[in-house]
Copies of this chain bind each other. A is one copy, B any other.
Amino acid sequence: MTKPRSRRGGGRPTIADVARKAGVGAITVSRALREPGRVSEDLRRQIHAAVDELGYLPDPNARALASARAEVFGVLVPSLTNSVFAEVLRGIYDSLSDSSYRIQLGNTHYSGLEEERLLQVFGPQRPAALIVAGIDQTPMSRRLLETAGCPVVQVMETGPDPVDMMVGFSHFDGGKAATEHMIETGYRRIGFIGARMDPRSQRRLAGYRAAMEAAGLFDARLITTTPVPSSVTLGRELFRDALAKVPTLDGVFCNNDDIALGVLFECHRASIAVPKTIGITGFNDLDMMEVAFPSITSIRTPRYEIGRLSVAMALAAIAGKRPQEPVVDLGFELRCRESTAR
């Protein structure tokens, strides 16, 4: 009376089956798969033959329990549809697809509380690394990240006080550079238009303000913002508001490219000449900025690269090779185009 091989497991082969078939101990199979260098050539071959024949795939849950470490990267972004984060995610994904790490996704909806909740969900599972967007965690989130016991990479921005590592660029400098460019080109009454003013947007606005003040051009009425999520539609509406408020407006620095596109379309619709009557600068440099007519000046941000590098740094840290410099600024690039060429 043989007892059933497994009550619940659905009959999938286990490491013990492989070990039996290969005539070795289970632990040796485990090693052959995880640290091949520590098993002799001969046994390794035998074991792999057994693995192939049985179609054995290790159970990640059992692995996670036994080693107190899941092969999972937790990734927290504030939005799934914002193409900026989609590209970061793509970078993360592409850098991880060769490895056996899985990606677990969290959407914070730009909410610190939601971020805390997600970290509390991710933590007990002991992820291999955590990648979170932004550097403005709540004290609670920060504590959760610090005690997560795994590498943490804050992305999209750089700052002075990393939880662990950081990859990003300075939004303040980006906003400043965009604004300075418009000032140099001869624009004077330059508005700032922004939706959903998250901390990064706030810092771009601060950069705008610094540039305007330095040039003696600052005027609070030039700023038009809303807490509503960003969209092309909203760009049009905010531009109308801005123009109604300041009819002498001769340029706009848009907090992102969606807004800039909305502004451009509204200019078309209202027959406002771009760049002659109104200059437009966006932020992020999405693909379409170059194709638009007129093409739109924007700040190119290294989103995909941020994703890739964050993974590279996390993997290095997992391997015990922490980078010398935990904070990496990937910079940005001003792309001057027709929309500010007068």
A residues at B contact (CB < 8 Å) = 8-10, 12, 57-62, 64-65, 67-68, 70, 72, 80-81, 83, 86-87, 89-90, 93, 97, 100, 102-107, 120-126, 149, 231-233, 235-236, 258, 261-262, 265-266, 268-269, 287-288, 290-293
For A87, what are the chain B residues with a Cβ–Cβ distance below 8 Å? 80-81
For the complex of A and B, list the 3 residue pairs with the smallest distance between their C-beta atoms, beginning with the closest: A61-B64, A232-B288, A268-B293
| Closest residue on chain B to residue A93 by CB atoms | B107
Among B100, B122, B261, which residue has its beta carbon within 8 angstroms of that of A121?
B100
Asked whether A232 lies within 8 Å of B100 as measured between CB atoms, the reply is no
For A106, what are the chain B residues with a Cβ–Cβ distance below 8 Å? 103
Given the known inter-chain contacts A80-B93, A233-B290, please indicate yes or no for A59 contacting B124, CB distance below 8 A: yes
Asked whether A107 lies within 8 Å of B81 as measured between CB atoms, the reply is no
Could you list 15 further interchain pairs (A-B, Cβ under 8 angstroms) beyond the known A64-B65, A80-B93, A233-B288? A9-B68, A10-B68, A61-B61, A64-B64, A93-B105, A102-B121, A102-B125, A103-B104, A103-B105, A103-B106, A232-B287, A265-B288, A265-B291, A265-B293, A268-B293
Asked whether A57 lies within 8 Å of B124 as measured between CB atoms, the reply is yes
For A262, what are the chain B residues with a Cβ–Cβ distance below 8 Å? 288, 291
For A90, what are the chain B residues with a Cβ–Cβ distance below 8 Å? 80-81, 107
Q: Which of A67, A68, A291: most chain B CB closer than 10 A?
A: A291
How many angstroms between the C-alpha atoms of A231 and B291 in the bound complex? 10
Q: Measured between C-beta atoms, what is the minimum distance from A229 to chain B in Å?
A: 10
For A72, what are the chain B residues with a Cβ–Cβ distance below 8 Å? 104
Asked whether A236 lies within 8 Å of B57 as measured between CB atoms, the reply is no
| Closest residue on chain B to residue A265 by CB atoms | B293
How many angstroms between the C-alpha atoms of A291 and B288 in the bound complex? 15
Among B65, B83, B105, which residue has its beta carbon within 8 angstroms of that of A62?
B65
Among B12, B126, B288, B293, which residue has its beta carbon within 8 angstroms of that of A124?
B12
Given the known inter-chain contacts A105-B105, A265-B293, A288-B261, please indicate yes or no for A70 contacting B61, CB distance below 8 A: yes
| Closest residue on chain B to residue A59 by CB atoms | B124
How many angstroms between the C-alpha atoms of A106 and B72 in the bound complex? 12
Asked whether B80 lies within 8 Å of A86 as measured between CB atoms, the reply is yes
Q: Measured between C-beta atoms, what is the minimum distance from A5 to chain B in Å?
A: 14
Residue contacts A-B, CB under 8 angstroms, 21 given: A57-B124, A60-B125, A64-B64, A65-B65, A80-B86, A80-B89, A81-B83, A81-B87, A97-B107, A102-B122, A104-B104, A232-B287, A233-B288, A233-B290, A258-B288, A262-B288, A262-B291, A265-B291, A265-B293, A266-B291, A268-B293
For A269, what are the chain B residues with a Cβ–Cβ distance below 8 Å? 293
For A232, what are the chain B residues with a Cβ–Cβ distance below 8 Å? 287-288, 291
How many angstroms between the C-alpha atoms of A262 and B65 in the bound complex? 51
Among B10, B89, B258, B291, which residue has its beta carbon within 8 angstroms of that of A233?
B291
